[in-house]
Amino acid sequence: MEPKSLARIGAIGFVAIAVTMTAIEMSRAPEPVREEPSFVIEPAGTDPLLAELRRCQALGAAGAEDRDCLAAWAENRRRFFDGRVRTVAPADQLATEEN
């Protein structure tokens, strides 16, 4: 068998498989839409650091010069790279401890 005809047979086989797989995929019913969210966002009141990070996010570029934002980002990096799991006290408990 010539190499040209062998290459043509291979190309025809590849196209046939691709068309068949496309037809099978198109005949499937669409997946139902999920009702529940794929992730849950924690309320900002739970973690004071999270509330501060959201405030800094709202500041935009001005947050890069805000002293409190720089401290919050440093604490967030420290928590991220620390690797240990921490439990966070509720914000109202932290507010009573500060007073």
List, for residues 63-84, the tens digit of each pLDDT value: 899 999 999 999 999 988 886 6
Q: Indicate the pTM of the whole model.
A: 0.41
Q: How much is the pLDDT for 41?
A: 65
Judgement on whether residues 17 and 58 belong to the same structural domain of the protein: no
Structural domain contains residue 37: no
Q: How much is the pLDDT for 36?
A: 74
pLDDT, mean over the chain: 81
List, for residues 51-60, the tens digit of each pLDDT value: 889 899 999 8
Quote the domain boundaries for residue 4. 1-31
- Give the sign of the dihedral formed by CA 59, CA 65, CA 71, CA 73: positive
Share of the chain above pLDDT 70, in %: 74
Judgement on whether residues 55 and 84 belong to the same structural domain of the protein: yes
Structural domain contains residue 40: no
